[in-house]
Structure 1
Amino acid sequence: MLAAALLLLTAGCGSETGVKPSSGGQTGETQSGSSGGELTYGLATSPSGLDPNVVPGAVDYRVMRALYDSLVVQMPDQSIKPWLATEWTVSPDGKSYTFKLRKDVKFHDGTPFNAAAVKYNFDRIVNPATKSRFAVTLIGPYESSEVIDDYTVKVNLKSPYSAFLSSLSQAFLGIVSPAAAEKHKDQLAKHPVGTGPFTFAGWTENAAIRLEKNPDYNWAPPIAENAGPARIDKLTFKIIPEEATRIGSVQSGQVSAVETVPPQNLVSLKGDPNVNLLQAESTGIPYTLMLNQQHPPWNELKARKAVQLAIDFEAIVKTLYLGTYSRAWSPLSPSMLGYNASLEQAVKPDIAKANALLDELGWTRGADGIRAKDGKPLTLHYIDGSPNREKRNDIAAMIQQQLKQIGIAVNIELLPDTTNAVMIKGTNDLVGVSNVSGDPDILRSFFHTNAIPTPEKWGHNHTRLSDPQLDQWLEEGLTEQDPAKRAEIYKKVQSYVVDNAYGFPVYVFPYTVAAAKSVRGLKFDSLGYPLFYDVTVKK
């Protein structure tokens, strides 16, 4: 068992984390604006911190990517290219990676980026005192780092880890200044220091985060057109949670661009001559509902299949998202390596069959239409977060009505923080999850035994089921180096999850941005996060 390698994902990343960039960023127009000036970017929520070794959130990532560079970059075609590392070699057993590093890079505090800094970062991530909530999962079966010389570092793994380079490309494994980390300790999240194209200039809580151009920057990854300093002088992230206010602020010109455009606004903004819409598919785990199999009767396949067959996901997605979101058919999004297209259209609503399955299990309808067995009503405790992110609360309400048709009473509980109920106590029967990732190994963090949450550790396997067959395939996918063979392994995993009704895929999240026409060159990385290297703002 690859126990050391089977680290689980932590909460907080469930928003959006792996995406394929849209074709050409901002309508292919990248350099028609002028250098200088300020880009103001409206965020839907406030970041919790800017220490990539520690914090896990997608909104944190959006800011951190402008502050921190990574050893490698994952390109739109999923290939891995040099960034802070100029080249690397992998040992025959797949357990050691030796990186040659750039020699011209400095952190924002003036200290040098070198092999010692890389070792410091990786050792810091796995140090329990750091309390890493996501980077520690990305670094996988990390064992140690060796400084070969000032600009050569050898990273040793306990076991082969096929997602290692993809993981290294993420901002969560971006390189922080060791000097800053030692100086600020656990307050680095509010005093970030990296090597990125922008430097930290200030943070007004729940209002704005201010960054300024790093004038010395000259090492952008090949995903950018501009290798030198950013073209804008200032980048300000404004916190605007209220949807109408956020959309109105870009329409009125108060901000340059805003994220997470609601479906109804996507439709209306298409005709706005002053706004460009940008969109990238979030790859990884699409929004997926998972049944807790520690709670009867959801440990029975027929009961799970009844729920699966009674929910009309097509109607839900069309009704709530007005054609702006795609229906998900698999627990992997379509752009991922190994996506199983054979699952598309494989499961369709069948109320008659759903009723028959519950009849076979001995659940009979009462006068109120709700089924019961041995005097106990058939209920489903559905926990979701609040506020109503991506209309997920509306999904719960529609499912409540649909499952009533087959005699299941759905009790919806909306919580501002679901951690205690879902992660620690496991009081839910049904809960939705999602995660952005650039590698199909993300499935391991949602369906492997080691990802089952307990009071002692967080995890995203909300089926709470230990399935030896899934464990075996997920461990094979973790160590297999051949992409074609990996793809076949993950296709089996996806089919198995759907066939056994472990997870119910709902929608693929599109990361959407509305930008003023004056903004050019805003693009997305391979996970669908915004990149600001090439942005210009027409004056």
Structure 2
Amino acid sequence: MTRHLLTATALAALLTALPAAAQEMRIGLGDDADILDPDQSRTFVGRIVYAGLCDKLVDLDADAQIIPMLATDWTYSDDGLQLVMNLRDDVVFHDGTAFDADAVVANITRSMTLPESRRKSELSSVASVEATGPLQVTFTLTAPDASLIAQLSDRAGMMISPTAAEAAGADFGQNPVCSGPFKFVERIQQDRIVLEKFADYYDADRIKIERVTYRPIPDTTVRLANLQSGELDMVERIAATDVGTVNQTDGLSLQEVVGLGYMAIYANIGNGDRALTPMGEDARVRQAFSLAIDREALNQVVFDGTARAGNQPFPPTSQWYNQDLPVPARDVEAAKALLAEAGQERVAVEIQHANNPVVTQMMQVVQAMVAEAGFDVTLRATEFATLLSEQTAGNFQLSRSDWSGRPDPDGNLHQFVTCEGGINDPKYCNPEVDRLLNEARAVTDPAARKALYDEAGVILNQDLPVIYLGHQTYIFALDDKVQGFKALPDGMIRLQDVTLAE
């Protein structure tokens, strides 16, 4: 290795020209984000970037409870048909545009009407939104919606500059302008996203970091190696098999938290010509595929026992889990019988998946398991943002993808399996499921809501547009100089009160 030495003069000049190293936070991501427009995006790592870039009307605390953010308080009318939110009076967007009720109206209207928006189904209960005061907005609903506040704790509630949004249109994501603690500097696809501290942030005293660089590194081994070498300060979603390595490395530490979401395989049922397969056309084939998988073995082999086996959008520990539909044991003979009933002896199917080692290993294990039941699986690895684009376009038969989860059960179901759902890539459509999930939105009593989700779950367990595999734990590895970070169940990286020790 060739080392280049700086003279004392050159070194002094360099230190004068650059901010102190402790002011920059370097974070390793498991994937590259998709478009940085809250209305159009859908990736988990995109939401991690948004945690620094785009504040929301409301946020989550460590217990996944809704807390104020840009909205200071809110109330529902007695009939549940109006939601009134009051807003902070000290917020400005990164371009100097004022944050007020008109800005919220513009944002919600954009989410509901932009042709490219994926937030439409999340806000489908909103009939109108209006400014009822300089710092007050009123949502008028078509029916009571118990999920709406939770929707506003994520991308549907992220506030972007109306000035920048109007000027850029659907290209807003090329230069996003929000109101978060950091403002956008640059993005180089597959290499980095850079943000810097926003001096006029309303809560600036809690922001100690001057600059944040997010580096997408899909290979978990390489991501960890960059942390060990000092090239990164933090990495998200390390492999469970690397936990021991981190624990044995001086200067590194771990934080982990059980997530709100799930790991799943999506089946193309009605999204173009690639749905015209036995897998897409016959639920019995999908049921056979599901029965051929040993979910607990996946957890042990791939995740070292840190995940939870699952077969629903909610983990078995959740109050929303249907105990009458337990995680099925692997049953190869029953799977073969279902294939025979469907008139199939062997079924060829392609599964696309993200090109990182953990997901690749998981799908190789699934490939071997289902082969015993009569499935000849071809695996196609791709970059994660490309995978999502292929799902949207219908260029898949089966697609392995995660959902990071939401605090309200609606967020794990409605947009994926309702006929007009914003992320319903399988193009599954069952009017009875729509009825049950729409009714569940309008009910506030938890027991009544659960009964509706249970009923919908029975149908979905038969139709299987989504084959759930389990629920992962988010494992973060940090350099010990990172102080003040706390992992929350949504897996986001919030940098308020985080410091880098000298």
Please, what TM-score do these two structures have when normalized by structure 1? 0.79
Higher mean alpha-carbon deviation, 183-192 vs 410-419, is at 410-419
Other-structure match for 1:375: none
CA distance 1:177–1:216, shift in 2 (3 Å): same
CA distance 1:285–1:95, shift in 2 (3 Å): farther
**Contact 1:72–1:168 at 8 Å: present in 2 too?**
yes
Q: Is 1:310 the equivalent of 2:273?
A: no
- 1:236-279 per-residue CA deviation (whole Å, 9 max, x = no partner) reads 22333443332111112122111221233223222223211122
CA distance 1:103–1:408, shift in 2 (3 Å): closer
The alignment partner of 1:280 has SS state of strand
CA distance 1:469–1:36, shift in 2 (3 Å): same
**How far apart in 2 are the matches of 1:499 and 1:235?**
46
Other-structure match for 2:355: 387
Which structure exhibits the higher relative contact order, with contacts defined as CA atoms closer than 8 Å and separated by 6 or more residues?
Answer: 1
Other-structure match for 2:451: 488
Higher mean alpha-carbon deviation, 514-523 vs 280-289, is at 280-289
Gaps of 5+ in 1: 1-33, 220-226, 364-370, 372-377, 452-457
Other-structure match for 2:493: 530
**Contact 1:72–1:83 at 8 Å: present in 2 too?**
yes
Which of residues 27, 31, 34 is equivalent to 1:41? 27
Q: Is 1:347 the equivalent of 2:314?
A: no
Alignment of 1:470-489 (within 5 A): 470-489=433-452
Other-structure match for 1:13: none
**Contact 1:216–1:229 at 8 Å: present in 2 too?**
no
Q: Is 1:157 the equivalent of 2:141?
A: yes
Other-structure match for 2:45: 59
- 1:318-372 per-residue CA deviation (whole Å, 9 max, x = no partner) reads 222222332223222356551235544x411223333344455565xxxxxxx2x
**How far apart in 1 are the matches of 2:463 and 2:308?**
23
Q: How much has 1:473 moved relative to structure 2? A: 1.8
Q: Is 1:74 the equivalent of 2:91?
A: no
CA distance 1:41–1:413, shift in 2 (3 Å): closer
**Contact 1:145–1:155 at 8 Å: present in 2 too?**
yes
- 1:515-538 per-residue CA deviation (whole Å, 9 max, x = no partner) reads 001111112445221111021111
Gaps of 5+ in 2: 1-19, 270-274
* Residue identity matched to 1:352: E
Which of residues 242, 246, 252 is equivalent to 1:269? 246
**How far apart in 1 are the matches of 2:324 and 2:21?**
48
* Residue identity matched to 1:326: R
**How far apart in 2 are the matches of 1:206 and 1:386?**
14
Other-structure match for 2:272: none
Other-structure match for 2:87: 101
**How far apart in 2 are the matches of 1:255 and 1:289?**
33
Which of residues 420, 425, 428 is equivalent to 1:450? 420
CA distance 1:350–1:526, shift in 2 (3 Å): closer
Other-structure match for 1:250: 227
* Residue identity matched to 1:481: T
Q: How much has 1:173 moved relative to structure 2? A: 2.5
**Contact 1:302–1:358 at 8 Å: present in 2 too?**
yes
Q: How much has 1:117 moved relative to structure 2? A: 0.8
CA distance 1:284–1:161, shift in 2 (3 Å): farther
Q: How much has 1:495 moved relative to structure 2? A: 4.2
The alignment partner of 1:531 has SS state of coil
The alignment partner of 1:136 has SS state of coil
Alignment of 1:205-224 (within 5 A): 205-219=189-203
**How far apart in 2 are the matches of 1:360 and 1:110?**
64
- 1:147-201 per-residue CA deviation (whole Å, 9 max, x = no partner) reads 1221111122333322110011114521112223234444432322222222233
Other-structure match for 1:21: none
CA distance 1:479–1:248, shift in 2 (3 Å): same
Q: How much has 1:233 moved relative to structure 2? A: 2.4
**How far apart in 1 are the matches of 2:375 and 2:64?**
43
The alignment partner of 2:39 has SS state of coil
- Count of residues in Structure 1 that have an aligned counterpart in Structure 2: 474
**How far apart in 2 are the matches of 1:328 and 1:236?**
35
- 1:126-151 per-residue CA deviation (whole Å, 9 max, x = no partner) reads 2335x22x333333333322112211
Other-structure match for 1:286: 263
**How far apart in 1 are the matches of 2:343 and 2:286?**
14
Which of residues 454, 472, 475 is equivalent to 1:509? 472
Q: How much has 1:70 moved relative to structure 2? A: 1.3
Other-structure match for 1:50: 36
**How far apart in 1 are the matches of 2:324 and 2:254?**
31
Q: Is 1:434 the equivalent of 2:402?
A: yes
The alignment partner of 1:382 has SS state of strand
Other-structure match for 2:424: 460
**Contact 2:28–2:236 at 8 Å: present in 1 too?**
yes
**Contact 1:45–1:241 at 8 Å: present in 2 too?**
yes
**How far apart in 2 are the matches of 1:351 and 1:386?**
27
* Residue identity matched to 1:471: D
**How far apart in 2 are the matches of 1:299 and 1:182?**
43
**How far apart in 2 are the matches of 1:522 and 1:382?**
40
**Contact 2:219–2:356 at 8 Å: present in 1 too?**
no
Q: CA RMSD in A?
A: 3.1
The alignment partner of 1:93 has SS state of coil
Which of residues 95, 107, 119 is equivalent to 2:105? 119
Q: How much has 1:74 moved relative to structure 2? A: 2.7
**Contact 1:140–1:161 at 8 Å: present in 2 too?**
no
Please, what TM-score do these two structures have when normalized by structure 2? 0.84
**How far apart in 1 are the matches of 2:178 and 2:368?**
50
**Contact 1:214–1:229 at 8 Å: present in 2 too?**
no
CA distance 1:183–1:117, shift in 2 (3 Å): same
**How far apart in 2 are the matches of 1:186 and 1:285?**
30
* Residue identity matched to 2:303: Y
**How far apart in 1 are the matches of 2:65 and 2:240?**
32
Alignment of 1:347-426 (within 5 A): 347-359=328-340, 363=344, 371=345, 378-388=346-356, 390-391=358-359, 393-414=360-381, 417-418=386-387, 422-425=391-394
Higher helix share goes to which structure? 2
The alignment partner of 2:28 has SS state of strand
**How far apart in 1 are the matches of 2:67 and 2:74?**
10
What percentage of aligned pairs have identical amino acids? 27
**Contact 1:304–1:501 at 8 Å: present in 2 too?**
yes
**How far apart in 2 are the matches of 1:362 and 1:193?**
55
